[in-house]
Amino acid sequence: MMGAARPPGQRRERLRKWAGTPVTALVSALSAALGLWVLWRVLDWTVLSAISPAHPMAICADAHGACWRFYVEKSRFMLFGTYPYSEHWRPALVSALLLALSGLVGLRITGRLSFIRPRVLIAAWLVMIPLVFVLMGGGWAGLAPVDISRWNGMPVLLILSVIAIALSLPLGVMLAVLRYQSRWPVLRRAAVVYIETMRGIPMVTVLFVGVFVLPLTLPPGTVISPVLATLVALIFFHASYFAEDVRGGLQSLPGSQDEAARSLGLSWGQMMRLVLLPQALSRSLPALVNSVIGAYKDTSLVVVLGIHDLTSTARMAFSEPGWGGFAFEAYAFVGAWFLVSCAFLSWVGRELHRRQGAQGG
């Protein structure tokens, strides 16, 4: 027997709950229309009006869509810049290793790869960081030496973002602990001054100080490349933001945690390492992920220092004579990369928020 039809009032109530108020329904309809229009424009540019990579570049002059031949000709230059062409496998391997390890860390903190112990990931980072510089610089095991001034494109972006974040996080945790504790007032005040000073200075200023002032503080005759100087500046800059995220996690813990740890006879160091910090890091992970996303995107500011990261090599790719009409293709390449990588980081942040909400419930 068919179920009885719902009364008109009940149907209207269900429609109202689904669509909301007339204003929200109108906004939703306009947003959907805008989204469909953008999707159509992207589809038209990338597929319908695009020029196949099999066609010569001359056809792209009058095209209204993407010139895929541009990517065939310039993708390796945008990725690796002026790094020796015959040695492109080295920056490609470095980029793949850094991306793979970063992906493993992201999946691990969301609980997807719980069988990987944190100390294994820490050991992997300790091996990976020097390996990156050895592979890029060469000069051993038959690898041709490559001057650091020729490190361009994707590897530079990942070195200045991924490695800087990996090294600034433990420094940020240490600063957070120093600011949180009250046993050593002098260290606490020093941590407060450092964190607030770094957070109050624009990132570009810190980068200029790292590149132009840091070398002056080194012993006479010591030379440091702009890439390494920028890496040092980014480490100390990001650490201050990570410190505040972790300190927020520490302050969110109830005071009973301290009392319970002291009642067990734990020292201050044991209490911090075994009781407080693990909980604080877990609570501050969503905020840390947001800071990581900002730090990752802000790395593109190094272009003002003349360092050729992915954005800079993309601009160089269409700055050559005869390629000036393909700026949109070049920047679309960079935008697509940041969109995909930041989407993964945003997914990690949403997963952490979801897990915390489930645990809180």
In the chain, domain spans: 65-360
How confident is the model at residue 60, as a pLDDT?
78
Helices (H), 138-276: 154-158, 164-180, 185-199, 203-208, 214-217, 226-251, 256-263, 268-270
Q: Give the pTM.
A: 0.85
Question: What confidence score (pLDDT) does residue 361 get?
Answer: 45
Measured CA to CA, the distance from residue 162 to residue 175 in angstroms comes to 20
Question: What pLDDT is attached to residue 352?
Answer: 83
Q: By CB neighbour count within 10 A (0-12 exposed, 13-18 middle, 19+ buried), where does 105 fall?
A: buried
* Contact predicate 87/159, CB 8 Å: no
| CA distance linking residue 142 with residue 124, whole number of Å | 24
In this prediction, residue 224 carries a pLDDT of 83
Is 334 within 8 Å of 311 (Cβ atoms)? yes
Instruction: Please give the pLDDT value at position 175.
Output: 94
- What is the structure's pLDDT at 198? 92
Distance of alpha carbon 113 from alpha carbon 50, whole angstroms:
40
Interatomic CA distance for residues 190 and 195, integer angstroms? 9
- Profile the chain (361 residues) by mean pLDDT over runs of 10 residues: 55 61 77 90 86 80 82 91 93 95 91 87 93 91 89 93 93 92 90 93 89 83 85 93 91 80 81 85 87 90 87 88 83 92 90 71 45
Rounded to the nearest 10 degrees, the angle between the axes of helix 164-180 and helix 226-251 is: 40
Reading the block at residue 337, the tokens are 């990369």
Neighbour tally for 181: CB within 10 Å? 15
DSSP per-residue string spanning 80-146: HTTS-GGGTHHHHHHHHHHHHHHHHHHHHHTTTTTTS-HHHHHHHHHHHHHHHHHHHH--STTPPP-
Residue 245 pLDDT: 92
The pLDDT of residue 9 is 57
Domain range 65-360, CATH architecture: Orthogonal Bundle (1.10)
